[in-house]
Copies of this chain bind each other. A is one copy, B any other.
Amino acid sequence: MSKPLILVTNDDGVTAPGIKMLVEIAEELGEVVVVAPDSPQSGMGHAITLNTPLRIHKTRAFPDLQAYECSGTPVDCVKLARHVVTKDRKVDLCVSGINHGSNAAINIIYSGTMSAAMEASLEGIPSIGFSLLDYRYEADFAAARGHIKMIMEHVLKNGLSKGSLLNVNIPKLPTEEIKGIKICRQADARWQETFAEATDPRGQKYYWLTGSFVNDDPGTDTDVQALEEGYISIVPSHHDLTNYEALKHSSLKELED
């Protein structure tokens, strides 16, 4: 039986430490193809490049692999991986990350890591985004190595339901303090934001986004709660943004007449 084909991508760029760990684990499980941005792309959400051409070439970051760096966004990388690099082959799994920082709760919306994973799921590829709750460059991506491998093995074996992807977040803890895995819903947490206002060397005013994360969600079944308790959170996610509750109960129906 041939080895499964695993696509690895991220949003922190092909030279980030997080993707290195993911590639190492993926190599133990199958044949690896890497297509990742040539520069950091945090906060790019589901952006795609429409008005400029894309460049892609072999990267020195993984000299022994079929590994490419791309001038576009994380979603562009997945599209190029699917339609150019792996063109006529079936991709068995896409893993994105390991992101430097949380993608729990509302962060999924802004995250290039998760958007790359979602794009793969749109292409029918079982797909997982991994994030570690540690923004530092020297974060310990190895602590959850065993858990990450177990999750990837599970998805390779069982697949995921159509259009589904997994949002996996890992607490900033040493291996022995990680309590296990919890399957959760996305917390209804939010960013309380402000803008730092300053003046540049040419005397022009500018603004820079800053903020703090606030969890108002009282639920005990959320990703944020699981992470606070020391668990790895997994939220099965999808691309259907319909608010079915609102669809059923909304006064909008009046507009149909």
Residues of A within 8 A of B (CB): 40, 42-51, 53-56, 73, 75-76, 79-80, 83-84, 106, 108-110, 115, 118, 122, 150-151, 154, 158, 160-161, 163-164, 166-167, 180-183, 185-186, 188, 190, 193-195, 197-198, 200, 204-209, 234-247, 249-257
B256–A193 CB distance below 8 A: no
Contact A238:B243 (CB < 8 A) given known A48-B110, A255-B151: yes
A195–B235 CB distance below 8 A: no
B53–A186 CB distance below 8 A: no
B79–A240 CB distance below 8 A: no
Task: Specify which of B47, B254, B257 is in contact with A45 (CB 8 Å cutoff).
Answer: B47
Task: Specify which of B51, B195, B257 is in contact with A80 (CB 8 Å cutoff).
Answer: B195
Residues in B with CB closer than 8 Å to A56 are 207
Task: Specify which of B42, B83, B200, B242 is in contact with A186 (CB 8 Å cutoff).
Answer: B242
Report the separation of the CA atoms of residues A194 and B123 in the bound assembly, to the nearest whole angstrom: 12
Task: Specify which of B54, B166, B195, B208 is in contact with A207 (CB 8 Å cutoff).
Answer: B54
Report the separation of the CA atoms of residues A110 and B254 in the bound assembly, to the nearest whole angstrom: 30
Task: Specify which of B180, B200, B249 is in contact with A53 (CB 8 Å cutoff).
Answer: B200
Residues in B with CB closer than 8 Å to A180 are 256-257
CB of A12, distance to nearest CB on chain B (Å): 12
Inter-chain pairs besides A46-B115, A154-B251, 13 sampled, C-beta below 8 Å: A42-B50, A43-B50, A44-B47, A47-B73, A50-B209, A54-B209, A55-B204, A76-B209, A84-B195, A164-B243, A183-B250, A235-B247, A236-B247
6 example contacts (A-B, Cβ-Cβ < 8 A) are as follows A42-B50, A44-B47, A48-B110, A80-B195, A183-B253, A185-B244
